[in-house]
């Protein structure tokens, strides 16, 4: 008889809690079989997050070249521009899909042939730490699983959630202004009303079926076998449904994530779970669990809109006040910090942090900058803004503003993220200063396309070689800041940190290493004016600015009164007590 480790007999307990005494034994047997299947195929490797970890966020077909798999082209770009600077890559869903730029997966175990094959994925994971998406809340209506459901295959009849449309579902939290139930016609010509949280093409899976759990875990193990060491659980907050509740953040959802982590760690304890929960901040951080049983990393979703708010207002009071509330349940977890991603700039995470008027101001300003605003349906039937759709550089600056302002504001925001406690994520479009892609929105009809343009690699390389052009300047400076960061132990994601309130225009992060021997005081001026910063008396001098981006910048500071030019950043290192 096969046995799992004594340490993880909690797997058995969790399965009984989720499935009850009748179904749990079958679930236990199938998952133990799965564990032993992959134990013979996966060689576990030690992996600990450090200051060296920086994650590029990109589509698998972000850059393209004729007659070459786009994943190969992507690796070529990374090897040329990012080798030794960025050590990890989050390749957004590279599986065959039917919509949403990959987030409606047709086949979990295949690579979209337009991008390449598992061979290209393994070549990337052989040289970069690989983060993949577990798009496991839902699956495409064109998947074999859903087709089998509609065809009446008994094995798949409980894979999806059918609900009588007359049932009251008004309590369910809605992330989109779309119907919660979608109507499908099965092979007998009968209507089936199925739960679809995000769109008709994204049919929610039913985790009340242990067979769904087993098949999804099989897919996640397969990604680990192909080299993934980080797994992003997409839209995970909505994964368990209980009619009569909000169907978000349910107790079973947390239980399920904890179970998935324990099952994966039976084979590969180095795997890091990252939860994607674009919700109010206090709800988001609940996915850390106790600090050693759930997600090891949580997206810091409030940070992107707060940085936009701070730049647009030349004021960091709210940002600093919010940052001072950041706490972690243990020294085994950390935040995943970013400014931009394939999605828009979420507004739900700053509910209760920014006022409705402040959110409205950001939305109006982003529209003036050429961006868009997306809305969701609230419980009372009204609609409210949930996301800004705009390239990050355009969110920060008006099209009429000079490139120099654009450059300074963009790098200020990116440097702030790199100085934050945790692991930084760098979206491809932020790396090269991409602008709003309006033609893409016209073509797709989807607001998020505005920040998802794909590039011909030859055209992009010419842009990056053009002296004085914004893409080249941003990429070169961005890489320089990252290089400084990854060589400072003070930026270890598990070190101690503090946020200092030294002025309404300044954002100040005091970071130090795990052993306390290394320390950096990162000061960022969010104003378009010169600002004087007076450092606390406890700080000893001299201090050296390790963030030397301009030859004219002063490098050694001997007194507590320091002047910062508009949008200047200083990372000071010295005998800081």
Tokens of 484: 């400084």
Q: Where are the alpha helices (DSSP H) in 88-158?
A: 118-125, 144-151
pTM: 0.96
First to last CA, the chain: 58
Please say if the pLDDT value at position 101 is more than 70: yes
Q: Model confidence over 451-466: pLDDT tens digits?
A: 999 999 999 999 999 9
* 402-442 residue pLDDT tens: 999 999 999 999 999 999 999 999 999 999 999 999 999 99
The dihedral through the CA atoms of 238, 244, 250, 253 has a sign that is: negative
Task: Please tell me the distance from the alpha carbon of residue 115 to that of residue 64, in angstroms, as a whole number.
Answer: 9
The average pLDDT across 46-56 equals 95
DSSP class of residue 321 equals: H
CB 254 within 8 A of CB 287: yes
- Over residues 468-493, the mean pLDDT reads 97
Report the pLDDT value the prediction gives residue 439, as an integer from 0 to 100: 97
Catalytic residue among 101, 234, 510, 518: 234
Specify the 3-state DSSP secondary structure of 371.
coil
β pairing state of 88-91 and 496-500: unpaired
Q: Is the pLDDT of residue 576 over 80?
A: no
Q: pLDDT > 70: what percent of the chain?
A: 97
Cα–Cα distance, 102 to 115 (Å, whole number): 12
CA nearest to 97, candidates 85, 105, 89: 105
The answer to whether the beta carbons of residues 341 and 57 sit under 8 Å apart is yes
List, in sequence order, every residue forming a beta bridge with 531; answer none if it has no partner.
564
How far apart, in whole angstroms, are the C-alpha atoms of residue 267 and residue 279? Answer: 31
Average pLDDT over residues 247-275: 97
234 assigned to active site: yes
SS3 177: coil
Question: Angle between the 403-419 and 303-313 helix axes, to the nearest 10 degrees?
Answer: 140
């Amino acid at each position: 008889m096969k046995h799992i480790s004594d340490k993880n007999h909690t797997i058995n307990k969790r399965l009984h809690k989720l499935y009850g005494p009748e179904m749990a034994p079958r679930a236990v047997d199938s998952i133990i079989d799965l564990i032993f299947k992959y134990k013979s195929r996966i060689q576990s490797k030690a992996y600990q997050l450090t200051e060296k970890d920086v994650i590029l966020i990109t589509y698998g077909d972000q850059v393209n070249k004729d007659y070459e798999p786009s994943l190969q082209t992507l690796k070529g770009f990374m090897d040329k521009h990012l080798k030794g600077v960025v050590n990890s890559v989050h390749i957004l869903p590279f599986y065959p899909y039917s919509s949403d730029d990959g987030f409606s997966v047709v086949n979990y175990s295949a690579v979209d042939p337009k991008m390449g094959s598992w061979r290209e994925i393994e070549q990337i994971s052989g040289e970069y730490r690989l983060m993949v998406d577990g798009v496991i809340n839902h699956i495409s209506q064109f998947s074999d699983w859903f087709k089998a459901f509609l065809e009446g295959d008994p094995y798949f009849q409980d894979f999806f959630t059918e609900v009588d449309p007359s049932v009251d579902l008004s309590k369910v939290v809605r992330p989109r202004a779309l119907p919660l139930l979608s109507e499908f016609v099965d092979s007998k010509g009968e209507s089936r009303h199925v739960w679809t949280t995000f769109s008709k093409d994204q049919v929610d899976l039913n985790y009340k079926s242990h067979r769904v759990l087993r098949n999804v875990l099989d897919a996640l193990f397969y990604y680990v076998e192909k080299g993934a060491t980080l797994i992003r659980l997409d839209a995970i907050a909505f994964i368990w449904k209980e009619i009569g509740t909000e169907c978000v953040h349910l107790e079973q959802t947390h239980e399920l994530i904890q179970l998935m982590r324990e099952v994966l760690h039976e084979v590969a304890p180095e795997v890091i779970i990252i939860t994607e929960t674009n919700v109010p901040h206090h709800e988001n951080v609940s996915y850390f669990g106790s600090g050693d049983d759930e997600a090891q990393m949580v997206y810091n979703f409030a940070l992107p809109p707060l940085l936009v708010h701070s730049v647009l207002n030349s004021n960091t009071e709210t940002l600093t006040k919010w940052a001072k509330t950041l706490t972690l349940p243990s020294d085994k977890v950390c935040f995943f910090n970013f400014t931009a991603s394939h999605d828009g700039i979420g507004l739900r995470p700053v509910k209760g942090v920014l006022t409705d008027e402040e959110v409205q101001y950001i939305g109006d300003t982003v529209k003036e900058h050429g961006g868009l605003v997306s809305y969701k349906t609230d419980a009372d039937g009204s609609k409210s803004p949930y996301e800004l759709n705009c390239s990050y550089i355009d969110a920060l600056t008006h099209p009429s503003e000079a490139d120099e302002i654009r450059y300074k504001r963009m790098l200020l925001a990116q440097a702030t993220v790199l100085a934050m406690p945790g692991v930084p994520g760098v979206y491809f479009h932020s790396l090269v200063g991409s602008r709003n892609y309006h033609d893409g929105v016209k073509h797709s009809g989807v607001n998020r396309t505005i920040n998802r343009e794909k590039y011909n690699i030859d055209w992009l390389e010419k842009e990056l070689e053009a002296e004085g052009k914004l893409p080249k300047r941003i990429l070169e400076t961005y890489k320089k800041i990252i290089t400084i960061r990854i060589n400072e132990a003070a930026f270890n994601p598990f070190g101690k940190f503090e946020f200092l309130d030294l002025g309404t225009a300044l954002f100040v992060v005091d970071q130090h290493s795990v052993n306390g021997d290394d320390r950096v005081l990162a000061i960022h001026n969010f104003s378009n004016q010169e600002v004087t910063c007076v450092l606390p008396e406890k700080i000893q001098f001299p201090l050296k600015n390790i963030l030397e981006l301009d030859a004219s910048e002063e490098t050694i500071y001997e007194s507590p009164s320091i002047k910062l030019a508009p949008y200047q950043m200083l990372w000071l290192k010295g005998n800081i007590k």
